[in-house]
Structure 1
Amino acid sequence: MKKTPPVTDATPDDGQTTSWRPRGNVLALAAVSFLTDASSEIIAPLLPLFLVGTLGTSVRMVGLIEGAAEAVAALLKLASGWWSDRVARRKPLIVAGYTIASVVRPLVALAQSGSQVLAIRLVDRVGKGIRGAPRDALLAASVPVAQRGRAFGFHRAADHAGAVVGPLIALACLQGLGMPVRHVFWVAAVPGALAVLVAVVFVRERRVTPAELKPVASPEPVAAQATATKAPLPRTFWSGIAPMVLFTLGNSTDAFLLLRAAQLGVATALIPLLWVVLHLVKSASSTPGGALSDRLGRRPLIVAGWVLYAAVYAGFAFAEAQWQAWALFAVYGAVFGLTEGSEKALVADLVPAAQRGTAFGWYHALLGVAALPASVLFGSVWDVWSSRTAFLAGAGIAILASVWMALQIRPRWVV
């Protein structure tokens, strides 16, 4: 009898059909993320100006608000992912997370001080922290493994599409309708409420079956090393996300890219349009990038994305003209298409179904915590030396992470 070839990073397959179209939870969760991001991005581009210009807070306070908010979200993702594994239910946490954020987010319109905005943002991020890991675990459970990368890529594409629509809605309200900024913040309640409605009505719970606790064919056969929610996560999970943490240490906030674009001559009025271009490319490339990870393997796509990231950062270091900023932003968007869906699919591949909530919780928590010093270090290098040195340092860290991840790719002939 002919033996079945071993499953490797280059040949992910679970024996199921690869024909695919978004439906069920994949489509529902994508719609929820689209609406939520549209709601969030109505406020996000205006919030720094509102804090500094209207409320009179310092720039340092702006950084504190965003840093603290993201740290809270990262840590809560770990707790909510673990809890969703324990109770074997994802939907209640998903709905609760989206509801909290959608109710609290527009209250920024009532804020009279930076501390009030901080409190609102913290509660908003509590909602994000509660929903993130259970949502990713439910999405992974809703598609066969051979379609997992495409599903995560499609979800990220919808998320980035919302990030395009949100600022355009804000722009239309401000410029077209002449609305005050506080009134624009209230508009964010509409897509937020629709997101909760879609989550309640269309997202379906999917419980872990006994069959899913047994070893299964996967792009990462080691996923079956642990078979119960109380067992420790497999060693291969930790080795898989370790390079991601290293990469994140060199992946600073994209606000620095906007500052560099301004240095290169991009007018302030065009900065929002530059942001829209970035998210358009992210959205357009995410589904194809995730699908490629299903065909070629997760790690090769991640490595390719990180190498491209290093090239883009090197480009920003040596760029001298305005058009180069536009070109680099467009290429930068493709980095997310190659990596975001592939990374999440890899996390799902590395653990059994009953531990995916915990695994995604650790993934989000570690990357969220690593992102905090990343931006501080980048800004410090920029201030002490130069923007060129900071961007080259970020590129160097990305190359190191790429080499580390590449060393984990198993050749086809290795069993």
Structure 2
Amino acid sequence: MNSSAGPNKKRLFVMNPVILVLGLISLFTDLSSNMIVPILPLYLTSVLHVQVGSIGIIEGIAESTASVLKLFSGMITDRLGKHKLLMLIGYGLSNLTKPLFALSASWTQVLIIRFSDRFGKGIRTSPRDALVADSTTKEERGKSFGFRRSMDALGAALGPLVAFGILATYKGNYRLVFWLSVIPGILAIILILFFLKEKDRSENVKQASLPKIGFKNLDRRFIWFSLIFTFFTVGNFSDAFLALRAQDAGMLPAFIPLAFFAMNLSSSIFSTPVGMLSDRFGRRSVLIAGLLTFATIYFGFGIVKSVSLVWVLFVLYGFYYAFTEGIQKAYIADIVPEGQRGTAMGTFNAMTGLAALPASIMAGYLWQTFGPMVAFSTSSAIALIAALLMIVLRI
């Protein structure tokens, strides 16, 4: 009995080399991205004098239009079996265009650059998720997706911390932050080029037919799951609005990157343990808990009036990410067979990504017309309905 327990315990601390490299790629890419994300809405409003409604349009178009590519990149990766090539193109485009924010002088220029960044994400996300799924067993899939998400969140935590240091040292020099974001981005590209390995799938690819767009031949649970989370995404608007809400509640702009650091640090700490928890007790209950957490936090953002409570909400928001981001992908990998996962991941990513367009536009409209409380409360109600659907339909 003891001899069998030993290897099992050891495997808790052993990580597949492919997953480890993917985690490092995510870390550096999100470090680069999140040097920019917390300060971009502040740059838009304070330097370029852009209205909140326009920020909603920027975020909605960038996320939604580019997300269509997640579907096609998933189809292509199933057809060609070239995870690494598509990832190199996607990560390369994102990491090399973000510094161009430093040259922007209007919100339309910011939209183009933001679109290019998300265009790259649309290319890379589905093949990356398919590579994670194909490189692991079902028994360790939650841990693997959780680890990649943890590294993703760690980079997302370090990015705002670096941005805060630069802004504090160079007196609010937003453009310098944009330029320096290229450094971790280049490190991510180097990792893909020289350290990422993928197994040969040429035999499977030769026998595979071109995947079709949509739900054909995919599990019923996957269909309902995708529809429910697409509905939820309509209420899950861009995190850029969290930065504006923090400022609206009285937080000094220089400290807003630190709030994002706290959020992403909590997500990084809890993503791997929560992923392992889903391996043991099932993905569904964990995802429902994540939706309920989101509903509570967004209601809190709607009514918050003190800076101290804003800090608490940001930390708790990291819990929501830990309970949903990696677990969604692990759940899909569980119910969709190898050879169709790229298409399934792409379909799911495209549907939820397209829902981000009305989400951010709706948020901007509700905020400008009725105030932030109505915008956040509406999102909270949508999350509650999504959780109820998961329970009633037993997805």
TM-score band by shorter chain is 0.7 to 0.9
Aligned counterparts of 1:261 and 1:27: Cα–Cα separation in 2: 34
Aligned counterparts of 1:60 and 1:404: Cα–Cα separation in 2: 31
Query: Who is 1:401 aligned against?
Result: 386
Aligned counterparts of 1:313 and 1:280: Cα–Cα separation in 2: 19
Aligned counterparts of 2:383 and 2:168: Cα–Cα separation in 1: 40
| 1:364-403 aligned within 5 A | 364-403=349-388
Structure 2 counterpart of 1:76, from 60, 69, 74: 69
Stretch moving more, 35-44 or 79-88: 35-44
Query: Who is 1:200 aligned against?
Result: 193
Query: Who is 2:34 aligned against?
Result: 41
Letter in 1 for 2:147: F
Aligned counterparts of 2:105 and 2:298: Cα–Cα separation in 1: 38
Aligned counterparts of 2:46 and 2:137: Cα–Cα separation in 1: 50
2:61/2:357 contact within 8 Å kept? no
Q: Percent identity?
A: 41
Q: TM-score, structure 1 length as denominator?
A: 0.83
Query: Who is 1:130 aligned against?
Result: 123
Deviation at 1:318, TM superposition (A): 4.4
Deviation at 1:353, TM superposition (A): 0.7
Q: TM-score, structure 2 length as denominator?
A: 0.87
Report the RMSD for the aligned CA atoms in angstroms: 2.9
Deviation at 1:90, TM superposition (A): 1.0
1:151 and 2:136 are equivalent in the alignment: no
Whichever structure has more helix as a proportion of its residues is: 2
Aligned counterparts of 1:336 and 1:324: Cα–Cα separation in 2: 19
Structure 2 counterpart of 1:353, from 319, 338, 344: 338
Structure 2 counterpart of 1:324, from 309, 322, 343: 309
1:274 and 2:267 are equivalent in the alignment: no
Stretch moving more, 91-100 or 105-114: 105-114
Equivalent position SS for 1:354: coil
Letter in 1 for 2:290: G
Query: Who is 2:87 aligned against?
Result: 94
1:73/1:125 contact within 8 Å kept? yes
Stretch moving more, 96-105 or 111-120: 111-120
1:228/1:355 contact within 8 Å kept? no
Query: Who is 2:19 aligned against?
Result: 26
1:227/1:352 contact within 8 Å kept? no
Query: Who is 2:3 aligned against?
Result: none
Deviation at 1:146, TM superposition (A): 1.1
> Which string of whole-angstrom CA distances, capped at 9 and with x for unpartnered residues, describes residues 300-351 of structure 1?
1000111122222333344454333222222221111111111111111121
Letter in 2 for 1:24: P
Structure 2 counterpart of 1:296, from 281, 284, 308: 281
Structure 2 counterpart of 1:287, from 268, 272, 278: 272
Q: 1:101 and 1:315, CA in 2 relative to 1: closer, same or farther beyond 3 A? A: closer
Aligned counterparts of 1:43 and 1:321: Cα–Cα separation in 2: 25
Aligned counterparts of 2:299 and 2:378: Cα–Cα separation in 1: 9
Equivalent position SS for 2:339: helix
1:308 and 2:293 are equivalent in the alignment: yes
Aligned counterparts of 2:354 and 2:23: Cα–Cα separation in 1: 26
Stretch moving more, 320-329 or 392-401: 320-329
Aligned counterparts of 1:208 and 1:144: Cα–Cα separation in 2: 17
Aligned counterparts of 1:158 and 1:207: Cα–Cα separation in 2: 26
2:243/2:256 contact within 8 Å kept? yes
2:151/2:268 contact within 8 Å kept? yes
1:156/1:283 contact within 8 Å kept? yes
Letter in 2 for 1:327: V
Stretch moving more, 292-301 or 257-266: 257-266
1:289/1:339 contact within 8 Å kept? no
1:236 and 2:221 are equivalent in the alignment: yes
1:79/1:361 contact within 8 Å kept? yes
1:338 and 2:328 are equivalent in the alignment: no
Query: Who is 2:155 aligned against?
Result: 162
Aligned counterparts of 2:37 and 2:311: Cα–Cα separation in 1: 21
Letter in 1 for 2:383: A
Q: 1:320 and 1:70, CA in 2 relative to 1: closer, same or farther beyond 3 A? A: closer
Deviation at 1:252, TM superposition (A): 2.2
Deviation at 1:227, TM superposition (A): 10
Equivalent position SS for 2:340: helix
Q: How many residues align?
A: 383
1:81/1:134 contact within 8 Å kept? yes
Aligned counterparts of 1:401 and 1:346: Cα–Cα separation in 2: 16
Q: 1:386 and 1:134, CA in 2 relative to 1: closer, same or farther beyond 3 A? A: same
Aligned counterparts of 2:63 and 2:203: Cα–Cα separation in 1: 36
Aligned counterparts of 1:377 and 1:60: Cα–Cα separation in 2: 9
1:250/1:374 contact within 8 Å kept? yes
Q: 1:281 and 1:181, CA in 2 relative to 1: closer, same or farther beyond 3 A? A: same
1:305/1:339 contact within 8 Å kept? yes
2:163/2:257 contact within 8 Å kept? no
Q: 1:317 and 1:172, CA in 2 relative to 1: closer, same or farther beyond 3 A? A: closer
1:72/1:129 contact within 8 Å kept? no
Equivalent position SS for 1:353: coil
Aligned counterparts of 1:119 and 1:379: Cα–Cα separation in 2: 19
Deviation at 1:361, TM superposition (A): 0.7
Aligned counterparts of 1:154 and 1:197: Cα–Cα separation in 2: 21
2:57/2:360 contact within 8 Å kept? no
Higher-Rg structure is 1
Aligned counterparts of 1:56 and 1:263: Cα–Cα separation in 2: 16
Letter in 2 for 1:331: L
Gaps of 5+ in 2: 1-6
Query: Who is 1:216 aligned against?
Result: none
Aligned counterparts of 1:56 and 1:29: Cα–Cα separation in 2: 38
Letter in 2 for 1:340: E
